[in-house]
Amino acid sequence: DTGVSQNPRHKITKRGQNVTFRCDPISEHNRLYWYRQTLGQGPEFLTYFQNEAQLEKSRLLSDRFSAERPKGSFSTLEIQRTEQGDSAMYLCASSTGQGQETQYFGPGTRLLVL
């Protein structure tokens, strides 16, 4: 069990650029969640995958955001035409997929949009 990993850990970009983040969940975890955390706030749910199927998206996830989980393994979160308001910590979590079980969080990717 190597834990949930996220890459990159930090990303600085200019407004209008596209960015992509990667999350590698714990092996054999079927469920994968993305959250966003801004300064002074708790994490907020963005989207959820059960294996490769994206089953729910938050209203926070505008059309500029897209997430994928090909083959039900790693996941990517892409933000197109970044805005300064996208600056946040993006967190990924995974769980086994058996009822309510612990969500294990990765260290996050901190995005700064200049």
Partner 1 sequence: AQSVTQLDSQVPVFEEAPVELRCNYSSSVSVYLFWYVQYPNQGLQLLLKYLSGSTLVESINGFEAEFNKSQTSFHLRKPSVHISDTAEYFCAVSRGYSGGSNYKLTFGKGTLLTVNP
Cβ pair 106, 6 in contact under 8 A: yes
CB of residue 43 vs partner 1: minimum separation in angstroms?
5
CA 40, CA 29: separation in Å to the nearest integer?
A: 30
- Of 8, 20, 5, 9, whose CA–CA distance to 86 is shortest? 20
CB nearer to partner 1: pick between 25 and 43: 43
- Of 108, 91, 112, 104, whose CA–CA distance to 36 is shortest? 91
CB nearer to partner 1: pick between 56 and 83: 56
List residues binding partner 1 (CB under 8 A). Answer: 4, 31, 33, 35, 40-45, 48, 50, 55-56, 91, 93, 95, 97, 99-108
Quote the DSSP letter at residue 62.
Answer: -
CB of residue 83 vs partner 1: minimum separation in angstroms?
23
CB of residue 100 vs partner 1: minimum separation in angstroms?
5
